[in-house]
Structure 1
Amino acid sequence: MATRWGCVGPGNISQDFFLAIQDNLPSSDHEFVAVASTNQERAQKFADKFKFQKAYGSYDELAKDPDVEIVYIATLNTSHAELSIKMLEAGKHVLCEKPMGMNHKQVKQVLQVAKDKQKFFIEGVWSRFFPSYNKIRQELTNTTVGDVKLVNVNFCVPISEIERVKNAKLGGGGCLDIGCYAIQFACFVYGEMPESVTAVGTMLGDVDESACITLKYKNGSMASLVYHISTISVITATIIGTKGKIEVHEPFYCPTKVTTPTGTFEFPLKENKYCYPNSAGLHYEVIGIRECLLKGLLESPKMSHYDSDMIHQIMTEVRRQIGVKYPDFD
């Protein structure tokens, strides 16, 4: 039986998401049922492009559609939690683009509703499903680098002039947009909350432009994470241990190449007219979600509710230390 998709928010990332499915996965496995926008014409245009069966001019209409099994939410950051709760309460499974909430409080609320309604929920940290990340998991399990002592991540990209990034009312700022990827990488490697979180950063108007974050873990291991939205592009990650290191080639959050103590491994993607780098890799996430649904799981072992809770605890603390406040949420 096909996984029956609904789309809420037909923007650029949604285009990449459904193009990745069309390009890489069997049509018999995925059915595009309905797309919803606050603009009927925009929804219809998206439906025509990707051959969705229905187009709605409101999110409520999609929530009421009995044919939709799982909803992909890709609206502005500020509406993620509200729409996730709406769809979960309507009996839908949910894949919500990162960040799933504006703060840790919202994240806990969403996860509780998912638990109460017994519906599958996942935050769209697609990185976790890439073959390169599977290779990293394998190397860490086999301790080829020895004991991990340090994780270094740099996520710097010149995106400060994008309206949604520089506007606090739209849920902008570096942490929610790109810093989350750096933080999730450290959480991916260590798999536990750090003992301490230390952050210093700079502001660009009402949003955070940059931060240097240090995470210290109970065994003395560290993570050094940097993000910046006003520099040239540097998107690297390295795991350093007592016996070796793992280099995740750029861009580390959607990598097609990784170098480990056992060799260099490449996982090429099929190219097409995507809006963002390596978006074809979104199909890995879709495969993982379909497997979970077929097994009746309520969360993914690769990106669990515990993972989201941990990431957002750290993110909320980072923003507190920098001094970022969102008028309607903090």
Structure 2
Amino acid sequence: MALRWGIASAGRISHDFMVGLKALPETEHKTVAVAARSLQSATEFAQTHDIPTAYGSYEELAGDPQVDVVYIGNITACHKDTVLLMLNNGKPVLCEKSLTASPQDTATLIKTAKEKNLFLMEAVWTRCFPAIIQLRKQIASGVIGEVKYVQANLGFRNPKLPGHMTDPKLKGSNILEVGVYPINFATMVFGERPESIETKGWLTDSGVDEFAAITLKYSGERVAQLTCSFNLNLPGEAYVIGTEGTLKLPQTFWCPSKLETPSGVLEFPLPTPCRPTVFVNSVGLCYEAEEVRKCISQGKLESEAMPLEHSQIVSEIAKTVIEQLGSCIYNN
């Protein structure tokens, strides 16, 4: 039987997630309901994406017995309450990054999911791309020797940012919106908490972090240097450098279709999207959806590609970085 999806939020990323789902076999994935803060928004979204049921509240979606798993695509400030609502109604959850705005809230969601014996995954789609899976295989094979250094950067110049991204009351944050990708990449490669964190950068006029240059020092003389911004265009590349060679993800490392290895460039073409997407390569959201289906079909409560422990580590690093920059979001 197909995994029956419910969609919580009718925003831009939920639109793109639907495009990703449409790239997968209908025999394996089916969207049965969508909910938004207004019934009109949900209805319009349902009509666009051929979803049979639209709800004007998340509570109605949580209570729908036809829904097997819920994708949550609202803003980070709302994630904790929405995820808890779904878990408390017996629904497995795939929740957009950042899972929450704080390590304490992330720990609460993980604890609740485990207590209720329900699947929970932070939707860090990067982890599920074929190019990333191959990168991890290359590292494990020892082809680049002992990994000593990771570098990743991501930033966009956007003078018309969505309001929630610069509003401290809504946990606006470059780190929580953009920086989680480089931080996640380093966490994936090194697989542990850093021994030290050092951050330089600046804030917006509203007191929200806008740019960060982060150095993470790990055990065994290993270092990650990460840069992120929602006010500068950065190359969007990532490097894993070992004692015997280098692996590189060129531009769009967070949703890659290529991997440069010591023996040559490997290409991983993405599926053709059924309609335009808001964000680059968003049809690749199909990979995380398929990861969820596989995990749930095998009775797993978390994904090996994006383990809950890594969500906790990334959340802890993000909070430290935000505090080192002097952001005021934890005062609101």
Same fold (TM over 0.5): yes
Unaligned runs of 5+ in 1: none
Task: Give 2:47's aligned residue.
Answer: 48
Q: Does 1:155 align with 2:154?
A: yes
Q: CA RMSD in A?
A: 1.2
Q: Which stretch of structure 1 is more off in the superposition, 136-145 or 157-166? A: 157-166
Query: Identity of paired residues, percent?
Result: 37
Task: Give 2:191's aligned residue.
Answer: 191
Give me the whole-angstrom Cα distance separating, in 2, the residues matched to 1:103 and 1:76: 14
Task: Give 1:21's aligned residue.
Answer: 21
Question: What is the CA-CA distance between 1:161 and the residue it aligns to?
Answer: 3.0
Task: Give 1:175's aligned residue.
Answer: 175
- The residue correspondences of 1:21-100 to structure 2 (distance < 5 A) are 21-22=21-22, 24-100=23-99
Please point out which of 283, 293, 296 is paired with 1:293. Answer: 296
Give me the whole-angstrom Cα distance separating, in 2, the residues matched to 1:199 and 1:161: 26
CA gap of 1:87–1:251, structure 2 versus 1, over 3 A, is same
Give me the whole-angstrom Cα distance separating, in 2, the residues matched to 1:109 and 1:49: 35
**What CA deviation, in whole Å up to 9, does each residue of 1:171-205 have, x standing for no partner?**
32210111000100000110111111111220012
Question: What is the CA-CA distance between 1:254 and the residue it aligns to?
Answer: 0.3
Give me the whole-angstrom Cα distance separating, in 2, the residues matched to 1:218 and 1:122: 27
Counterpart of 1:312 in 2: which secondary structure? helix
Question: What is the CA-CA distance between 1:263 and the residue it aligns to?
Answer: 2.0
Q: Which stretch of structure 1 is more off in the superposition, 196-205 or 118-127? A: 196-205
Question: What is the CA-CA distance between 1:230 and the residue it aligns to?
Answer: 1.3
**What CA deviation, in whole Å up to 9, does each residue of 1:280-304 have, x standing for no partner?**
1000111111000100000000001
Give me the whole-angstrom Cα distance separating, in 2, the residues matched to 1:66 and 1:212: 46
Letter in 1 for 2:136: R
Give me the whole-angstrom Cα distance separating, in 2, the residues matched to 1:261 and 1:16: 34
Letter in 1 for 2:93: V
Please point out which of 310, 327, 330 is paired with 1:307. Answer: 310
Task: Give 1:213's aligned residue.
Answer: 214
Task: Give 1:241's aligned residue.
Answer: 242
Asked whether the equivalents of residues 160 and 166 of structure 1 are also in contact (C-alpha less than 8 Å), the reply is no
CA gap of 1:327–1:222, structure 2 versus 1, over 3 A, is closer
Give me the whole-angstrom Cα distance separating, in 2, the residues matched to 1:187 and 1:211: 17
Give me the whole-angstrom Cα distance separating, in 1, the residues matched to 2:263 and 2:126: 21
Asked whether the equivalents of residues 172 and 329 of structure 2 are also in contact (C-alpha less than 8 Å), the reply is no
Counterpart of 2:194 in 1: which secondary structure? coil
Q: Which stretch of structure 1 is more off in the superposition, 181-190 or 270-279? A: 270-279
Asked whether the equivalents of residues 160 and 209 of structure 1 are also in contact (C-alpha less than 8 Å), the reply is no
TM-score, normalised via structure 1 length: 0.97
Give me the whole-angstrom Cα distance separating, in 1, the residues matched to 2:153 and 2:306: 21
Counterpart of 2:236 in 1: which secondary structure? strand
Unaligned runs of 5+ in 2: none
Question: What is the CA-CA distance between 1:328 and the residue it aligns to?
Answer: 6.6
Counterpart of 2:224 in 1: which secondary structure? strand
Give me the whole-angstrom Cα distance separating, in 1, the residues matched to 2:80 and 2:192: 24
The alignment covers a number of residue pairs equal to 328
Q: Which stretch of structure 1 is more off in the superposition, 169-178 or 252-261? A: 169-178
CA gap of 1:81–1:160, structure 2 versus 1, over 3 A, is farther
Give me the whole-angstrom Cα distance separating, in 2, the residues matched to 1:135 and 1:28: 27
Counterpart of 1:235 in 2: which secondary structure? coil
Counterpart of 1:227 in 2: which secondary structure? strand
Question: What is the CA-CA distance between 1:168 and the residue it aligns to?
Answer: 1.9
Counterpart of 2:169 in 1: which secondary structure? helix
Give me the whole-angstrom Cα distance separating, in 2, the residues matched to 1:170 and 1:160: 19
Asked whether the equivalents of residues 159 and 165 of structure 1 are also in contact (C-alpha less than 8 Å), the reply is no
Asked whether the equivalents of residues 153 and 234 of structure 2 are also in contact (C-alpha less than 8 Å), the reply is no
CA gap of 1:72–1:211, structure 2 versus 1, over 3 A, is same
- Structure 1 runs of 4+ off > 3 angstroms? none
Counterpart of 2:43 in 1: which secondary structure? helix
Question: What is the CA-CA distance between 1:158 and the residue it aligns to?
Answer: 0.9
Question: What is the CA-CA distance between 1:232 and the residue it aligns to?
Answer: 2.3
Question: What is the CA-CA distance between 1:164 and the residue it aligns to?
Answer: 2.5
Task: Give 1:9's aligned residue.
Answer: 9
**What CA deviation, in whole Å up to 9, does each residue of 1:32-63 have, x standing for no partner?**
11111111011011111112121111111111
